């Protein structure tokens, strides 16, 4: 790995963290999903898996330890791998927006499963049911955000990537 790759991973991780913090006042509306999808499409899954590791570790430093960080260390790499597998098949932002929507709709269910391991099935079920409205907002906002911002951000990053890696 080159120094410029390490710098890129830091920059991408920082933009995801900053984007999450900037929208944190709106419940379950975020650009983290969009950015992981876009970064995977432009820079490939190997670099972006490292970005997810740095991002999640940064989140732990900001918010502290709890069961949520276990899910973050798994759920973001799953999204990255799904995006990488889709890259050759999907040529439109609609495909990625659909993945983002499904990801948002099921986000709480992933957490409920982990919560069930620690606190029992009843707690996991209650956790998921209590958050269904937030999951609906999360999935719907992911769909809209990805549909609107995917193509412009990919175009910008493709131009920047060509300039950055042309040597």
Model confidence pLDDT, tens digit, residues 85-113: 999 999 899 999 999 999 999 999 999 99
Q: The domain containing residue 111 runs over which residues?
A: 3-162
Q: How far is CA 105 from CA 84, 111, 137, 138, in A?
A: 20, 12, 8, 6
Confirm whether 130 is domain-assigned.
yes
The domain that contains 78 carries what CATH number? 1.10.1760.20
Question: What number of CA atoms fall less than 13 Å from residue 83's CA on the CB side?
Answer: 30
Confirm whether 98 is domain-assigned.
yes
Model confidence pLDDT, tens digit, residues 116-134: 999 999 999 999 999 999 9
Q: Total structural domains in the chain?
A: 1
Confirm whether 167 is domain-assigned.
no
Number of neighbours of residue 113 by Cβ within 10 angstroms: 14
CB 155 within 8 A of CB 113: no
Say what the pTM is: 0.95
Residue 167 pLDDT level (bands cut at 50, 70, 90): low
Confirm whether 41 is domain-assigned.
yes
Residue 165 pLDDT level (bands cut at 50, 70, 90): confident
Q: What is the pLDDT of residue 166?
A: 72
């Amino acid at each position: 790995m080159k120094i410029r790759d390490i710098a890129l991973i830091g920059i991408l991780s920082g933009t995801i963290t900053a984007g999450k913090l900037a929208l944190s006042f709106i419940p379950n509306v975020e650009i983290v999903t969009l950015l992981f999808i876009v970064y995977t499409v432009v820079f490939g899954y190997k670099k972006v898996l490292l970005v997810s590791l740095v991002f999640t570790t940064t989140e732990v430093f900001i918010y502290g330890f709890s069961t949520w960080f276990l899910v973050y260390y798994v759920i973001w790499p799953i999204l990255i791998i799904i995006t990488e597998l889709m890259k050759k098949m999907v040529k439109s932002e609609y495909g990625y927006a659909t993945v983002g929507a499904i990801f948002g709709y099921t986000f709480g269910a992933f957490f409920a499963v982990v919560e069930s391991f620690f606190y029992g099935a009843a707690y996991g079920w209650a956790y998921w049911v209590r958050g269904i409205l937030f999951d609906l907002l999360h999935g719907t906002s992911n769909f809209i955000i990805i549909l609107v911002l995917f193509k412009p951000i990919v175009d910008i990053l493709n131009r920047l990537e060509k300039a950055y890696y042309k040597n």
